[in-house]
Amino acid sequence: MPVNDHIHFAISLSGPGAGQVLTDEAAIADALHQPDLAWLHLQADDPATPEFISRHLGYLDQTILSALTALETRPRAFRHDDGLLVILRAANVSPDQAPEDMVSLRLWLDPARLISLSRRPLAVVDRMMRGYEGDTTQTRSGALLCTLITRIVEPIEQQLLSLEERTDSHELSLSDPPDPALRADIGDLRYQLTLLRRHIAPQRDVLGELSRSDVAWLTRKDRRNLHELHDRLIRVVEELDEFRDRMVLLRDELTGMQSERLNRNLYRLSIISVIFLPLGFLTGLLGVNLGGLPGANWPGAFWVFTGSLAGIGLCLLAILLWRRWL
């Protein structure tokens, strides 16, 4: 339950009160000034949030304070003294939400506190907090950062598997004549791939920077874990590029099939025109309502003319077959 409009939750993660959820704003403010690790999650777009951050984290550079509450963000990492500003993107796994519509998660970490902010609810943050609730295990900032990033990367990898299945399904469903809905599905899938890559590619670079960070509270094990997470996101970006290339090839194949089908139909219409154009010319010429037409007063003229048209049509058909145009 949120403490108030701008504080979603606060929990102590080390010291005598490890696992204790803080519900009083005065207790939260006190925890932020203690040496024991505490985690506070704030509503980034609440009007009271900037004032709260300035009051309790006023020692931070103004650029960092602005980055934590900025309207638009991109994944990045920045060191300030013994702390880290980290901005990431997490998959939106909330019900009725698109996972590729990723939510910005802004973090400030130092040895004694984790301040996280988001403009929209994040299920991964809430589940992680509930996992720490009541747990008296002592937690470090470095381990907390690694766990949080792991929880962020896992849904991204699950979304990647879903996109791979859709890509394989589209390739298998390609047929002649092509399904009209397939082109729209391919466009939608390419849009999702573009959105994911837009956020995940810079996030990959952020994890690379974190794995090389020299802040004292990141242990060698933490850096190894961050390096492994960095490698996982490298694979995600590479596979996104592969899926995007496959979608381009699939779209080109679909366009080629549609063009070939159109050309085939136009060719058939052209053959029909070649046969019936001279026949239409003759019937139009002899069908004018003028005097002097040959055979106008002969009862058998119609059948002779009809037979002549049939003979001309068969001759044209034979020529087309001889030239292998049919």
State the Cα–Cα distance between residues 4 and 42, nearest whole angstrom.
10
Tell me the torsion sign for CA atoms 173, 175, 177, 178.
positive
Q: Of 223, 246, 267, which residue sits at a domain end? A: 267
pLDDT per residue as tens digits for the range 199-213: 899 999 999 999 999
Query: Looking at residue 90, which CATH number applies to its domain?
Result: 3.30.460.20
Tell whether the model's pLDDT for residue 94 goes beyond 70: no
Q: Is residue 10 assigned to a domain?
A: yes
90 C-beta neighbours (distance < 10 Å), count: 25
Q: Is residue 235 assigned to a domain?
A: yes
pLDDT per residue as tens digits for the range 292-304: 667 667 777 778 7
234 C-beta neighbours (distance < 10 Å), count: 16
Contact 30, 23 (CB under 8 A): no
**In 3-state terms, what secondary structure has residue 8?**
strand
In this structure, are 102 and 24 located in the same domain?
A: yes
Q: Is residue 321 assigned to a domain?
A: no
Q: Is residue 294 assigned to a domain?
A: no
In this structure, are 46 and 144 located in the same domain?
A: no
Q: Of 139, 159, 182, which residue sits at a domain end? A: 139
In this structure, are 30 and 70 located in the same domain?
A: yes
Q: Of 267, 283, 300, which residue sits at a domain end? A: 267
Find the range with the poorest average confidence among 12-16, 62-66, 121-125, 179-183: 179-183
CB neighbour burial string for 191-230, b if at least 16 within 10 angstroms, e if fewer: ebbeebbebbbbbbbbbbbbbebebebbeeebbebbeebb
State the Cα–Cα distance between residues 277 and 282, nearest whole angstrom.
9
Helix (H) or strand (E) segment spanning residue 272: helix 220-286
In this structure, are 110 and 181 located in the same domain?
A: no
Peptide bond into 177 cis (omega under 30): yes
pLDDT per residue as tens digits for the range 5-42: 788 899 999 888 888 998 888 888 888 888 899 999 99
In this structure, are 49 and 178 located in the same domain?
A: no
Mean pLDDT over residues 145-164, rounded?
90
State the Cα–Cα distance between residues 97 and 318, nearest whole angstrom.
63
In this structure, are 164 and 241 located in the same domain?
A: yes
In this structure, are 81 and 196 located in the same domain?
A: no
Q: Is residue 195 assigned to a domain?
A: yes
Residue written as token pair 């990045």:
76
Q: Is residue 83 assigned to a domain?
A: yes
In this structure, are 190 and 86 located in the same domain?
A: no
Tell whether the model's pLDDT for residue 191 goes beyond 70: yes
In this structure, are 1 and 125 located in the same domain?
A: yes
Mean pLDDT over residues 214-243, rounded?
93
Residue 265: what pLDDT?
83
13 C-beta neighbours (distance < 10 Å), count: 26
Residue numbers of the domain that contains 25 = 1-139
Residue 70: what pLDDT?
86
Q: Tell me the pLDDT of the chain averaged across its residues.
A: 84
Tell whether the model's pLDDT for residue 59 goes beyond 80: no
Query: Looking at residue 208, which CATH number applies to its domain?
Result: 1.20.58.340
In this structure, are 146 and 250 located in the same domain?
A: yes
Q: How many domains would you assign to the chain?
A: 2
Tell whether the model's pLDDT for residue 3 goes beyond 60: no
Q: Is residue 99 assigned to a domain?
A: yes
From the list 16, 30, 79, the residue with the least C-alpha distance to 40 is 30
**In 3-state terms, what secondary structure has residue 114?**
strand
In this structure, are 124 and 193 located in the same domain?
A: no
Instruction: Compare 186 and 204 and report the one with higher pLDDT.
Output: 204
In this structure, are 58 and 175 located in the same domain?
A: no
CA count, 13 A, side-chain hemisphere, 285 = 9
Which pTM does this prediction carry?
Answer: 0.77
Q: Is residue 295 assigned to a domain?
A: no
